[in-house]
Amino acid sequence: MSKTALLFPGQGSQSVGMGEEFYQQYDFVREVFDMAEETLKMHIAKLCFKGPMEELTATVNLQPAITTVNLACLAVLKNEGIDFDFCAGHSLGEYSALNAAGAVSGQDTIQLVFKRGRLMHRESLKHRGSMHAIVGLPVEEVESLVADVQSDGVVSVANHNSELQIVITGAPKPVEKVSMLATEKGAKSIPLKVSGAWHSELIKGAEEEFQAVLAEINFNPPDKSVVLNVTGDIATEAEEIKTCMGRQLCSPVKWYPAMKKMMEKNIEIFVEVGPGKVLAGLLKKILPDDCPAKVFNVGNMRQLEAFLKENK
């Protein structure tokens, strides 16, 4: 098969009904859900398939729910004999990528995202925060605006998603101020529906505790190339990955550099594995018009059939 990369989505890709088609179709997908439900003593299938959306979107529920669906979609691809060379995941999705690469077991992956979600939720209740997407300015200009406003309170870059899509995070007032300055420069500012200032100093209180959780988990050297959020580069050592995951909560997601790294490796097929089309949409903005790479989604039966039609 052509050189292939799997991309795993995170928060923001959820929808009621996600994963249900695969759950009904495949016994091994039901086993993935059963494993997650047994590990956490949560009704994850009911949450994913029936919602309601408000309950599904709560961080403590959403992180294990999306991760379970990601792992279920990965299991479908494995069942079809699909192999891959590289993988990456956006923020929460990085845990699914680590499982795909053999760095962390499925059960440990589910445990980690559950505990991560609880800690993030706890910190969001202590420190009110917000996030805005700034569209139309390069990261250097956004970082300059952030630096100008930091004396007003906590604000920083959360995600470098594409060349001209940067998400900022922090306390509501400085985030609003950076957004206002960005719009004065011709950018568009879009408030995001989030319950906390993810990837900011406002959730720093979760970091040390989560690092202690990570310390108890066995990380293996990956058997596939993983491109990490914290560095935007390939990691090959188990301890390096564990250290980066300890920093990931409060560090910017370097998604654009990660995708550029994959482009350097001449990836021919990119597959977003999980619900939604967020990462495929970003990638289509990142890839040059003359790039021959193809972009697919595998989150339901129709998408799976379309992918297999071209790649088997």
Tell me what pLDDT residue 27 has.
98
Examine the residue annotation and report whether 91 is marked as an active-site residue of this protein.
yes
Tell me what pLDDT residue 138 has.
98
CATH of the domain at 94: 3.40.366.10
Last residue of a domain, one of 157, 176, 195: 195
- Does residue 101 sit in the same domain as residue 219? yes
- Does residue 214 sit in the same domain as residue 261? yes
Task: Compute CA 23 distance to the chain's CA centroid, rounded to the nearest angstrom.
Answer: 22
**Residues 77-116: b if buried by 16+ CB within 10 A, e if exposed:** beeeebebbbbbbbbbbbbbbbbbbebbbbebbbbbbbbb
Catalytic residue among 90, 121, 160, 199: 199
Q: Residue 136 and residue 294: Cα distance in Å, rounded?
A: 25
CATH of the domain at 156: 3.30.70.250
φ and ψ at 158, to 5 degrees? -95, -45
Other residues' Cβ atoms within 10 Å of the Cβ of residue 159? 26
Tell me what pLDDT residue 312 has.
77
Strand order in the sheet with 155-162: 155-162, 165-170, 130-135, 188-191
- Does residue 220 sit in the same domain as residue 151? no
- Does residue 209 sit in the same domain as residue 277? yes
* Number of domains composing the chain: 2
Q: Per the structure block, which two tokens stand in for 217?
A: 């988990």
- Does residue 47 sit in the same domain as residue 99? yes
Last residue of a domain, one of 161, 177, 195: 195
Tell me what pLDDT residue 1 has.
62
CB within 8 Å of 191: residues ≥ 6 apart: 130, 131, 132, 179
Catalytic residue among 91, 96, 130, 251: 91
Is the Cβ–Cβ distance between 119 and 210 less than 8 Å?
A: yes
- Does residue 46 sit in the same domain as residue 142? no
Examine the residue annotation and report whether 160 is marked as an active-site residue of this protein.
no
- Does residue 135 sit in the same domain as residue 259? no
Is the Cβ–Cβ distance between 272 and 298 less than 8 Å?
A: yes
Last residue of a domain, one of 195, 212, 234: 195
- Does residue 178 sit in the same domain as residue 306? no
3-state DSSP call for residue 87?
strand
Q: Which domain holds residue 280?
A: 4-125+202-311
Q: List the pLDDT tens digit at each of the 312 positions of the chain.
A: 689 999 999 999 999 999 999 999 999 999 999 999 999 999 999 999 999 999 999 999 999 999 999 999 999 999 999 999 999 999 999 999 999 999 999 999 999 999 999 999 999 999 999 999 999 999 999 999 999 999 999 999 999 999 999 999 999 999 999 999 999 999 999 999 888 999 999 999 999 999 999 999 999 999 999 999 999 999 999 999 999 999 999 999 999 999 999 999 999 999 999 999 999 999 999 999 999 999 999 999 999 999 999 997
- Does residue 175 sit in the same domain as residue 226? no
- Does residue 179 sit in the same domain as residue 267? no
> Read out DSSP for 229-280?
TTTSSEE--HHHHHHHHHHHTTS-B-HHHHHHHHHHTT--EEEEESSSSHHH
Place of tokens 């098969």: 1
pTM of the model as a whole: 0.97
- Does residue 57 sit in the same domain as residue 104? yes
Q: Residue 307 and residue 310: Cα distance in Å, rounded?
A: 6
For the chain, the first-to-last Cα distance in angstroms comes to: 8
φ and ψ at 167, to 5 degrees? -100, 130
Tell me what pLDDT residue 41 has.
96
- Does residue 179 sit in the same domain as residue 258? no
Tell me what pLDDT residue 179 has.
98
